[in-house]
Amino acid sequence: MDLSFILYLLAILLVLAGIAGVILPALPGIPLVFAGLLLAAWVDGFAHVGWLPLTVLGLLTALSFAVDILATVVGAKRVGASRKALWGTFIGSIVGLFFMPLGLFLGPLAGALLGEYWHGRELGRSTKVGLATWLGILLGVALKLALAIAMLGLFAFAWFF
Work out the average pLDDT over 4-29: 91
Whole-model pTM over 0.85:
no
pLDDT single digits (tens) 87-138: 887 788 778 778 777 777 778 788 888 888 888 767 777 777 778 877 888 8
> CA angle, 107 as apex, 106 and 113 as ends, to 5°?
85
Give the C-alpha separation, 156 to 41, whole Å.
11
Whole domain around residue 94: which residue ranges? 3-160
Give the C-alpha separation, 125 to 120, whole Å.
10
Q: Are the C-beta atoms of residues 22 and 144 closer than 8 Å to each other?
A: yes
**Which residue type sits at 106?**
L
pLDDT single digits (tens) 63-75: 988 887 777 777 7
The total domain count for the chain is 1
